[in-house]
Structures are given as C-alpha cells and as structure tokens.
C-alpha cells in the first residue's frame, strides 16, 4: 500500500512508557503527527476518557466492527480486545499526516504485513527490574493482571528483532525526540520522496 503520510508503529511491553512518550511527542512536535485512538473491550481506568484514551466498546460491538472490516488489525492483549480503526488512519495518511499506532507486537506484525512501508519502533525501559517497578507502581491493575502483564512483557521483548528501531526509555523527552528524529529521517528516504531527479536535472 502506498500512502502520502508515514505510518509509525510503536510497540513495547506494558510499562515501557509508550503512552507517555507518544503524549510528549504530540506535545512537543505536534506538527503533522496524529495518534490513532484504538477501540478496546477493556474497562476504562480511573482518569481515562472515551475518545481520548480509547473508544471503549463491549465485546459484541467489537466483534461486529471486526466482522465489518473496520479494523486495520486487532488482537487480544492481556485478556481484552484492542483494534486500530481503519477509516481514521487511512483518511489521515491520505491527507499527508504522519500517524502513530501505539499497539502490541501481534498488531505490529499484522500491520507489517499490510503496510510494508510503515516504520516500526520498539520501546523498552532501561532494565527489566524497572519495568516490574513501573507495572506494579501504577496501582491500576489487580495482582493477577500485573502477573499477566509481566509474563507478556517477557514474551513481547522477544519480538523486538522484527522492528526497525529500538529506543531505551530512560528519559521521556529524549525518547520522544529520538522518535521525531526517526520520523524526520524516514521522510527523507529517497524511496519516499516524490522527486523526479531526471526532470530536476533538466531544469
């Protein structure tokens, strides 16, 4: 699939800080960057808002949307379903916007299959110990959820080799800046630039 905007997939284990990095990226470098908001069957956490963090739907509605082809990809993560809305992403890419998908590794690999031109970035915390601390410190999950997320984190890190870039998140601002630099460099790739060099030489 060819598109004008750049599709950037950001994955990494729960607790890596992907969400915070994406928010910082939008805050500091908002020009032409859109964050896709996923649909999920997970219940909202305290402080989460419909249409801001996620579109919260029940399982029946999610299944209906999936069957209707409304997702670019969807996956079951930590026992809940999450999906990337197709229309929003395609419309933004057509407008020339760069779109960020903050999704898990299963979703990332599905996107890779459809959008070979997308850029894939994997985020990890400085150490696994730090990751444990971050997940436990959130206080929003039950003990069973925490265990599940840690087990999944261990497995997810095994998929980092399928990504183009890796970012160690020891500082939110630095991590966001690195993503912006990747985006800028990727936009300059000759294969992405619509420049007819023969025409250019002729003047």
Q: Which residues bind ligand 5GP (CB under 6 A)?
A: 14, 18, 38, 42, 73, 75, 77-78, 82-84, 102-104, 106-107
Q: Is the Cα torsion angle 145, 48, 77, 10 positive or negative in sign?
A: negative
The least CB distance from residue 75 to ligand 5GP, in Å, is 4
In whole angstroms, the minimum distance from the beta carbon of 176 to ligand 5GP comes to 16
From the CB of 22, what's the least distance to ligand 5GP, in Å?
Answer: 10
**C-beta of 102 vs 186, nearer to ligand 5GP:** 102
Cβ proximity to ligand 5GP: between 136 and 187 the closer is: 136
**37 — phi, psi (to 5°)?**
-100, 125
Q: Which of 164, 170, 160 is nearest to 182 (CA)?
A: 164
Q: Give the residue nearest to ligand 5GP (CB).
A: 107
- Of 42 and 132, the one with the shorter C-beta distance to ligand 5GP is 42
If the CB atoms of residues 151 and 192 are measured against ligand 5GP, the closer one turns out to be 151
CA distance 123 to 129: 15
Which CB sits closer to ligand 5GP, 141 or 187?
Answer: 141
Q: What are the backbone dihedrals phi and psi of residue 124, each rounded to the nearest 5 degrees, phi first?
A: -130, 155
Distance CA 22, CA 101 (A): 9
| CA–CA dist 83, 41 (Å, integer) | 9
Hey, CA dihedral for 182, 33, 80, 17, is it positive or negative? positive
What's the closest the beta carbon of residue 84 comes to ligand 5GP, in angstroms? 4
């Amino acid at each position: 699939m060819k598109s004008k905007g750049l599709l950037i997939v950001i994955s990494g284990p729960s607790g890596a800080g992907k969400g915070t990095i994406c928010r910082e990226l939008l805050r500091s470098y908002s020009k032409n960057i859109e964050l896709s908001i996923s649909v999920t069957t997970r219940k909202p956490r305290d402080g989460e808002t419909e249409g801001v963090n996620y579109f919260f739907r029940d399982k029946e509605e999610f299944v209906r949307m999936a069957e209707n082809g409304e997702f670019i990809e969807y996956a079951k993560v930590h026992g809940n379903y999450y999906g990337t809305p197709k229309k929003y992403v395609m419309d933004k890419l057509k407008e020339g916007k760069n779109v960020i998908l903050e999704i898990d590794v299963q979703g990332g690999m599905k996107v890779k299959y459809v959008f070979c031109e997308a850029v894939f970035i994997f985020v990890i915390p400085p150490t696994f110990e730090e990751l444990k601390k971050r997940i436990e410190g959130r206080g929003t999950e039950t003990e069973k959820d925490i265990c599940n997320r840690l087990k999944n984190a261990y497995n997810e890190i095994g998929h980092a080799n399928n990504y183009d870039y890796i970012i160690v998140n020891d500082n939110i601002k630095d991590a966001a800046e690195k993503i912006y630099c990747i985006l800028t460099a990727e936009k300059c790739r000759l294969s992405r630039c619509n420049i007819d060099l023969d025409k250019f030489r002729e003047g």
